[in-house]
Amino acid sequence: MKFGYRTEIVSGRGGKAMYRFLSVVAVLIISGCVGGGGERITDYTNHSTVYGWVDIDEVDGNHLYNVIVKQYRPKTEAPYYFLGIEKFKGGYLFYTHATTNGAFKLDTARAQSCLGFMCSNTYYEYHFGSQGSDVGAVTIDKPGVYFLGSYELAEQKTGWFEQGKFNVVEAQNGPSRKEMLEAVLANAPRDHPIVAERIRTVMRN
């Protein structure tokens, strides 16, 4: 079991507008055309697919709208990758086809409490810890398909003046890697067949 830190951000604006904005951003990211720093990718030959799954039923916020992976090595001016997200098998599948070679780690997951399209103006950030933690960590040495892990998050009680914490454990009842890859494959960029070829190769092995 590992634990990370939770922070809460209260926005002065209504959550509904933010939810719609983030939904539009997610559509762009899920298309697989955005890499670290937001640059558009036109050639996936030297990029990799990373993916994972998380269950947030036991933490504050029932709608996951943001998952970020950070690149630690080599150093770059744009180390953050915003992953595509979709509800999947009782949790959330997250992925991107845009990572380069290097050392990466899950950085932050963000959630809201929503009822339909109406969401609260409180945003919960779950920080998975800095480099050195093995939660969602992967080293990419050549272009391919890499698994970040399947996790369950749960709130952890803390003292009055302590920063909020949450537990991270490996999911016991999450989807199989094959099930996840089938969903990731369905969202592979159509005009770059090398991505789909790599995913199918992993699924066959």
Q: Can you give the three-state secondary structure of 151-200, one letter per residue?
A: EEEEEECCCCCCCEEEEEEECCCCCCHHHHHHHHHHCCCCCCHHHHHHHH
- What's the pLDDT tens digit per position in 12-47? 444 444 444 444 344 444 444 566 666 778 899 999
**Looking at residue 17, what DSSP letter applies?**
H
Check residue 59 and give its pLDDT. Answer: 85
Contacts of 49 (CB under 8 A, 6+ apart): 95, 96, 97, 99, 144, 145, 146, 184, 188, 195, 198, 199
Separation CA 152–CA 59 (nearest Å):
9
Check residue 167 and give its pLDDT. Answer: 80
